């Protein structure tokens, strides 16, 4: 380790993963520990907020200790503590925020609050050392579907967003309806591999005057109607065909808008981020479209697509470098908007 190295301890607890990581100079992951609560929430078919917060409290010390020990470091070596403070479940966010504040206060370290979605975007810096803003980014997670331009580190301009369900939410709801369980995304992805993406034709929503906005609730309802009709008439539902056809409709909506926006706004690079970025059909669809249009396409490995703290440490690094510092009054902000983070120094 060299004197000038910046070592960020990242902490993430916005939903159902308790995670801590150490990242060197914004791009090199020294450790990335994730304690997932998925098995616990599967029993209830979705994330139960109260259970999530309790589990975060149980796990957070252990996860942070492990992140430091896997990095071969102690808190004495850390430059700053970065933590997700929104958006997310308030009780879950509070656990990470309180822990980060306690560590930063006790060790006299700078505290940097990070926007969870900015973290997802910055996950791309970990494996693509050459990637620098500005670029166009398609963010698809359980709670968000945004088309943004990352203008510079910490500067985002939103050019499109979902009007209703997020892409991940649509995956989860459709999966539940066909009995695939929670979390739906990976299960639909797997089932779709055996299915025909053109077996059923589902509607594509277009919003007048907002060509880069998304809407997935109509698609979700069409799938649910299809299932109900089939059940009422006693027809057999091919889960794999349904999964493949639904997934194909989502991928088409996402890919067409991302490529059109890159062309209209003159960006040569499309970056994919968020939990749904792990979807194999979406990765392939965007890869093919970018090849056709001679655009460069970047996406993280699946482990950095879904929630993790390495992405929070990477985003925290660039916030730290541009002078963002938070005080002991840092609070969880469940509906934090992208680009709302304060620069206090």
Contacts to Zn ion by CB under 5 A: 141, 307
Site for ligand KG4 in 15-34 (CB under 6 A): 15
> Shortest Cβ distance from residue 140 to Zn ion (Å)?
10
Q: Does 185 participate in binding ligand KG4 (rule CB under 6 A)?
A: yes
- Beta strand pairing call for 135-140 and 145-152: antiparallel
Q: Does 300 participate in binding ligand KG4 (rule CB under 6 A)?
A: no
For ligand KG4, give the closer residue by CB, 91 or 184: 184
Site for ligand KG4 in 119-138 (CB under 6 A): 120
Range in contact with ligand KG4 (rule: CB under 6 A) among 35-43, 95-103, 273-281, 327-335: 273-281
Q: Does 165 participate in binding ligand KG4 (rule CB under 6 A)?
A: no
Number of residues that bind ligand KG4 (CB under 6 A): 20
Q: Does 183 participate in binding ligand KG4 (rule CB under 6 A)?
A: yes
Angle of helix 167-177 relative to helix 239-265, nearest 10 degrees, comes to 170
**Identified binder of ligand KG4 from the candidate list 12, 165, 189, 241, rule CB under 6 A:** 189
Q: Identify the bridge partners of residue 80 per DSSP, sorted by sequence position.
A: 8
Strands, sheet with 135-140, edge to edge from the N-terminal-most edge strand: 155-161, 145-152, 135-140, 269-273, 296-298
**Identified binder of ligand KG4 from the candidate list 18, 53, 279, 341, rule CB under 6 A:** 279
Contact footprint for ligand KG4 (CB under 6 A):
15, 120, 141-143, 168, 171-172, 183-186, 189, 274-276, 278-279, 306-307
């Amino acid at each position: 380790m060299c004197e000038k190295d910046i070592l960020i301890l990242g902490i993430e607890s916005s939903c159902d993963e308790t995670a801590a990581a150490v990242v060197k100079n914004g791009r090199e992951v020294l450790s990335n520990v994730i304690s997932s609560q998925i098995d616990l929430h599967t029993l209830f078919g979705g994330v139960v907020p109260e259970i999530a917060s309790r589990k975060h409290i149980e796990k957070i010390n252990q996860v942070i200790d492990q992140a430091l020990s896997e990095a071969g470091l102690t808190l004495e070596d850390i430059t700053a503590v970065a933590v997700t403070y929104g958006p997310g479940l308030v009780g879950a966010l509070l656990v990470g925020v309180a822990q980060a504040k306690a560590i930063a206060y006790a060790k006299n370290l700078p505290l940097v609050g990070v926007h969870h979605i900015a973290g997802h975007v910055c996950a791309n810096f970990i494996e693509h050392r050459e990637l620098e803003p500005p670029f166009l980014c398609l963010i698809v997670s359980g709670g968000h579907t945004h088309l943004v331009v990352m203008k510079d580190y910490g500067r985002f301009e939103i050019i499109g967003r979902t009007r209703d369900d997020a892409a991940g939410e649509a995956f989860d709801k459709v999966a539940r309806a066909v009995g695939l369980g929670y979390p739906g995304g990976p299960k639909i992805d797997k089932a779709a591999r055996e299915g025909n993406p053109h077996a059923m034709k589902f509607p594509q929503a277009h919003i007048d005057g907002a060509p880069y906005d998304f809407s997935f609730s109509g698609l979700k309802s069409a799938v649910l109607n299809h299932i109900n009709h089939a059940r009422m008439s006693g027809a057999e539902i091919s889960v794999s065909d349904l999964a493949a056809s639904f997934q194909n409709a989502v991928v088409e909506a996402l890919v067409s808008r991302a490529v059109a926006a890159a062309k209209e706004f003159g960006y040569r690079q499309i970056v994919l981020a968020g939990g749904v970025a792990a979807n194999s059909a979406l990765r392939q669809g965007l890869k093919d479209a970018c090849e056709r249009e001679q655009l460069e396409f970047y996406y993280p490995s699946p482990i950095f697509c879904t929630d993790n703290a390495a992405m929070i440490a990477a985003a925290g690094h660039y916030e730290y470098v541009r002078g963002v510092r938070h005080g002991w009054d840092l609070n969880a902000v469940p509906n934090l908007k992208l680009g709302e983070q304060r620069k206090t120094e």
